[in-house]
Structure 1
């Protein structure tokens, strides 16, 4: 880790206050980041993290308080070039232009020119290659950015920021769309960049990652600073308590109850899948019984998300069949899948889950409009009552059904997506990364809805990289290169599960899977990952 000669903080924010009308988004924001460290910023959704980041990156001026870089006052907001030389933020949602090449994205709006003031494409490619090489980003400068894997796209954004001269990089939920192997690669790159003098502010809801990659952590709660401490001196339980303002006990009792109760052996099969084959999975046999929660685990290239999305009508398999409640499940038609009894929480609430220009009520009820009126006319009172009920059931913190969904925190926005999936009383609930990018308490609230769905007799399919999500399952199926290679019962050993996901487990094949547990042959045409550019 690089040392600073005067031990002056690289970034220091103190007494930050930010109001939006009557709402106080931040009442006492504080942050001190030393050069060359990875500093975690954590807190539940609505704690003030995003507001502090907008101040630290010069997008908003604080109503009170100061920001200093290397002991000097922050530049004026109007001097965008000066801010770019100080700090950059790599957001969960990419800011690169997908249809441009890597080189074009690196030098957008500052392309090198030649004679007559025209862009010199040769110099552009050369300078892009130099920037990528300087920061050891192994990406083709001429590759279309949309074709990159998520982790490579993030590294391009980091390289672009570093090329301006910034040495302070804010990473906002950088692992939300990465699998375990990709996360470890990102952390390895972060450590290498730290050794080169780069400083990170790391924002994540995954507390284990804070302990893996950060040296210091700052906690915000209720729009104010709570504590800053070396990570090594702050036990996980104390960190959670600082974030929540109360002790959130582990959900061991609930998990033990699931383990004790199990699913009756004579519970009817709700989802019956035989020989299903698609673009990124092959020969899938699985069943989900009434009131059973089955997990799907695997790396991003395993095909697990593509498989789950097929049940929700997003893709059409090339072979095999699936029956829901004894009736053939329609493929390739989201509306038909909804009518057949499938509710889905998609993998990306920003792109697939929410219509940002609409209200909470509109988003929550759009899957059941036919129930709320006749002949295409929707009763306003009926929709409001239905939306109010969903808001209460899901514990959505909103001013009411008329509040724009874009105003909600990440956790409450995800609850709206869950509310819509449950509104139709589905027979099969497909949950894809249901707790990605949400705070500790919202995660527990969302997982409690899984337990309620189980109690209501719904068949639930959970696709996740989160061990906390998978622990709620009655059993977990592991996909490797598009094939089911292992099955883990409730109470699984997490090391065994991770070994299966990484393709090194040979001791726990699925009964009847034959040689599939040792086969690494992927289905033809398998994409590089589940995350499409």
Structure 2
């Protein structure tokens, strides 16, 4: 840079942001400086203040103190939503598109072009949508029904909708939580292309390897305060974890001392789950056979189209296979009925805690004890004291950080909400525990706590089936089965190398 050049102005600058909710300090010192054209990561454990800071820099909340500026100009008034949309937009983990509408209708929802007489012009709507998608090289048909799109394409529709307002700053909130490895690669490639076209990203993720893969700069929050902003290239992984946790890192989750080689179950340990020739409806999986012994942890890996989730959900009573059988402790496992599966001894942490794992309008105690209500009273009545005692024990056992068992689960951070889902799965003392993406969207500390429950369940003699896209989750397993197009194609014992497992997932076994 020459002496006459001036440094570029930040596209977004937030300084000294504070926010309180009663006595709770959500942000004590929030800072964020995002430069034009970069991908900037915002990381921190659950409760660090990320969500509050994002809600403030996107205009959804007003700070108690501090200032937000875009390209050197003060942020618009809170009530001027159109002005905010021209500055910044957020693509959330849970999609905000309307499934039953077409891509074109979602892109211009509530601002559809009109023709003569003020009536909606379908021709102009489709033309404008096609022009927008083409301008940003987003290869999706304007006429496609949004519900039929893949998750990654729905995200691109939301990004395109944001760009149509004129903003060039997009916040991506856990964008890879529901994507497999190939979909993540495509998303990152699209992000790179958009960056080259002048789009800037604020990237929020608990998967730190993604930060190193896609971002140039990272900002760390801890305990509601700004800790550091640094170039990703200059910040080693251990230093990043230390900044987030406030303590020296002992190694990546699943790779530290706690991940030292464990002895598997004894060779004569009884088989708890025996699966023979299981075939799912619509070809989700076919002719699957395996066993899990008492105290054994078996992982299921594969792409999103491998059938691994559908297979795991079958054991929890969510699907009925078209062929094959499964036995749990020698008794036939019922299919197609969640209550019957629960009574048979199956506990489950489902893939989506928001839609499948929690009842948002209920308390922690209500959610944690839903699977054991018959144990809490007689003749259909639930004893309040018994419910509170069981919930309190589960909260302590899972280290749920909350004001008490009567707090609404909707007020919990992602990590603590996931612990409540795990608590309910463990409440029934299951013989088989099915965990589907158990650490998705949680912070590093909560991830360690949740994975510790895997170890304790193993020690209690539970058989565990862990389905995950996270290699750290799978490292807790005694062996990992890989599904490819619905069939088991490989088995990796503990101690596998990343490249070998990934090769199996990607179909390299086929030669």
Where on the TM-score scale, by shorter chain, does this alignment land: which range? over 0.9
Q: 2:369 aligns with which of 362, 365, 387?
A: 365
Asked if 1:455 corresponds to 2:459, the answer is yes
Q: Give the 5 Å matches for 1:46-445.
A: 46-250=47-251, 251-258=255-262, 261-279=263-281, 280-445=284-449
Cα distance, 1:485 vs structure 2: 0.3
Q: RMSD of the TM alignment (CA)? A: 1.0
1:254-304 deviation digits (Å, cap 9, x = unpaired) = 22242xx11111111111000000130000001111100000000000000
1:52-104 deviation digits (Å, cap 9, x = unpaired) = 00001000010000000000000001111110011000000001111111111
Distance in 1 (CA, whole Å) between partners of 2:134 and 2:307 is 32
Farther off after superposition, 349-358 or 247-256: 247-256
Q: Alignment partner of 2:260: what SS?
A: helix
Q: Alignment partner of 2:356: what SS?
A: helix
1:378-418 deviation digits (Å, cap 9, x = unpaired) = 11000100000000000000111000000100000000000
Distance in 1 (CA, whole Å) between partners of 2:261 and 2:383 is 41
Cα distance, 1:253 vs structure 2: 2.4
Cα distance, 1:307 vs structure 2: 0.4
1:309-368 deviation digits (Å, cap 9, x = unpaired) = 001000010000011111111111001000000000000000000000000010000100
- Judge conservation of contact 1:496–1:505 (CA < 8 Å) in 2: no
Give the number of equivalent residue pairs: 502
Q: Alignment partner of 1:13: what SS?
A: strand
Asked if 1:21 corresponds to 2:22, the answer is yes
Cα distance, 1:372 vs structure 2: 0.7
Cα distance, 1:22 vs structure 2: 1.2
- Judge conservation of contact 1:89–1:171 (CA < 8 Å) in 2: yes
| Alignment match, 2:33 | 32
Q: Alignment partner of 2:109: what SS?
A: coil
Structure 1 82/5 Cα, relative in aligned 2: closer, same or farther at 3 Å? farther
**Normalised by the size of structure 1, how large is the TM-score?**
0.93
Farther off after superposition, 129-138 or 222-231: 129-138
Q: Deviation above 6 Å: which 4+ runs of structure 1?
A: none
Cα distance, 1:252 vs structure 2: 3.0
Distance in 1 (CA, whole Å) between partners of 2:424 and 2:6 is 55
Distance in 1 (CA, whole Å) between partners of 2:460 and 2:130 is 57
Cα distance, 1:184 vs structure 2: 0.7
Asked if 1:481 corresponds to 2:489, the answer is no
Cα distance, 1:116 vs structure 2: 1.2
Distance in 2 (CA, whole Å) between partners of 1:427 and 1:5 is 66
Distance in 2 (CA, whole Å) between partners of 1:395 and 1:257 is 26
**Normalised by the size of structure 2, how large is the TM-score?**
0.97
Distance in 2 (CA, whole Å) between partners of 1:495 and 1:242 is 29
- Judge conservation of contact 2:376–2:387 (CA < 8 Å) in 1: yes
Asked if 1:465 corresponds to 2:466, the answer is no
Q: Alignment partner of 1:491: what SS?
A: coil
- Judge conservation of contact 2:261–2:495 (CA < 8 Å) in 1: no
Farther off after superposition, 133-142 or 105-114: 133-142
Q: Alignment partner of 1:378: what SS?
A: coil
Cα distance, 1:139 vs structure 2: 1.2
| Alignment match, 1:514 | none
Distance in 1 (CA, whole Å) between partners of 2:134 and 2:378 is 63
- Judge conservation of contact 2:239–2:249 (CA < 8 Å) in 1: no
Distance in 2 (CA, whole Å) between partners of 1:398 and 1:247 is 26
Q: Alignment partner of 1:9: what SS?
A: coil
Cα distance, 1:6 vs structure 2: 4.7
- Judge conservation of contact 1:57–1:89 (CA < 8 Å) in 2: yes
Unpaired stretches in structure 2, ≥5 consecutive residues: none
- Judge conservation of contact 2:17–2:65 (CA < 8 Å) in 1: yes
Distance in 1 (CA, whole Å) between partners of 2:249 and 2:146 is 42
